[in-house]
Amino acid sequence: MIDKRNQAWEGAKGFVEARQDKDGLLSEEDRKTYDLMEAKVHNYTREIERLQKEEAIENELKQPVNKAITNKPNETKEEVEKKSFRASKEYKNAMFRAMRTNFKRVDNILQEGVDTDGGYLVPEEVDSRLIEILQEENIVRALAHKVTTSGSHKINIAATNPAASWIEEGGALSFGDATFKQVLLDAHKLHVAIKITEELLFDSAFDLEEFITIQFGKALANAEEDAFLNGDGTNKPVGIFNETGGGKHLTEVATLKSDDIITLIHELKRPYRKNAVFIMNDKTIAAVRKLKDNNGAYLWQPSYQQGEPDRLLGYPVHTSAFVPENKIAFGDISYYNIGDRGTRSFQELRELFAGNGMIAYVAKERVDGKLILQEAVQVLPVKKLV
């Protein structure tokens, strides 16, 4: 499938090169033909992504059902009991029994996981699965630096660097004072609610655990990604594209050209280019894929390996529907820090939808995100795409 996509893309490029007039333009009919060829490339890409997800699910299903014994041979009963109650099978089973009965049956073990803000702490196995989904669905979380905190997390960074100077033999030393500032990762509350019919909930064949894990995971991931990209810091994280706390915004260009991409790359300081990536909207990519260098070669380089992102002038490209269509980010996203406060929790809404035969559940988390070094990411505003 990847080979077919590559062949389709090469064919599209060859068509453009053969049909362009002396000004590099296509006729209206040829442009429609090219759009169809490009759409075919996008269809191949979507099918590749579907097959990759299908393969991941199949690999997960092939895992052994019975877990290996993990206790040490000489481990005492007291040592076993010291392990996190959230990691126990009893706690997880009690959680989902309670959810199936709309929390009319609450086992004693659940009292150990009561959240101070209401609800019950998510079982460790489910929380790990939620984190996996957040990583898969949220490009920023996958690329950023993540820390788990129990309170406000302060990050010290250099505000100024000391300067070195040459001195003569035996001369007096001069000292420059390096100053520091702090970036504070706080905790903003994010919650998402889902509704389930009573008939479905009470159906023993319905996999409640898998359903709510995926639904909550995807909803939280979408909300996080939007905030990590566009958040203004008011009751939410500060996003990479925020003009004050995000990446360094360059001068807006009137129309996107290949030289603008080259300038964007080299405006970023060399140390940050080593692990730099592009982040842009899908509509922006449609314009970028048509850009050529002065020799007529396309800047875009489709991936020839499964699971690897496409590249632009050698750098990986990541897409998100939440990126503004008129902006392109380029930089080392590991300088974006995400602080996860505590543990996620589930809570029931008993009465709100009872009249409709629905039961609602809420998942809550506390999270913050900030770009700790503005110069690590550059943002190019574009007035008009190609």
**Per-residue pLDDT at 1 exceeds 60:** yes
Q: Tell me, what amino acid is at 125?
A: E
pLDDT for position 44: 84
- Map out the domains of the chain as residue ranges: 1-57, 89-161+176-386
Q: What percent of the chain has pLDDT over 90?
A: 31
pLDDT for position 72: 47
- For 236, the enclosing helix (H) or strand (E) is none
CATH class entry, domain 89-161+176-386: alpha beta
**Does the pTM of the predicted model rise above 0.75?**
no
Contacts of 286 (CB under 8 A, 6+ apart): 38
Q: Which of 2-11, 20-29, 192-201, 359-368 has the highest mean pLDDT?
A: 359-368
Q: Which of 134-138, 306-310, 328-332 has the highest mean pLDDT?
A: 328-332
Average pLDDT value for residue range 338-355: 77
pLDDT for position 333: 96
Q: What is the mean pLDDT of the chain?
A: 81
| Measured CA distances, 383 to 253, 263, 266, 327 (Å) | 6, 16, 21, 9
Q: Which of 23-27, 115-119, 188-192, 280-284 has the highest mean pLDDT?
A: 280-284
Average pLDDT value for residue range 175-180: 56
pLDDT for position 255: 93
User: Which residues, in sequence order, are bridge partners of residue 232?
Assistant: 238
- Strands 311-312 and 315-319 come out as antiparallel
pLDDT for position 353: 67
pLDDT for position 152: 62
- How far is residue 116's CA from residue 282's CA, in Å, rounded to a whole number? 41
Nearest to 100 by CA among 362, 359, 344, 363: 359
Q: Which of 37-46, 198-207, 208-217, 283-292 has the highest mean pLDDT?
A: 283-292
For the stretch 267-296, pLDDT in tens is: 999 999 999 999 999 999 999 999 988 888
Residue that wins the pLDDT comparison between 191 and 104:
191
For the stretch 66-125, pLDDT in tens is: 444 444 444 444 444 444 667 778 878 777 777 776 666 666 666 666 666 667 777 778
Q: What percent of the chain has pLDDT over 70?
A: 78
Dump the DSSP string for 321-378.
Answer: TTS-TTEEEEE-GGGEEEEEEEEEEEEEE-STTGGGTEEEEEEEEEEEEEES-GGGEE
Average pLDDT value for residue range 338-346: 85
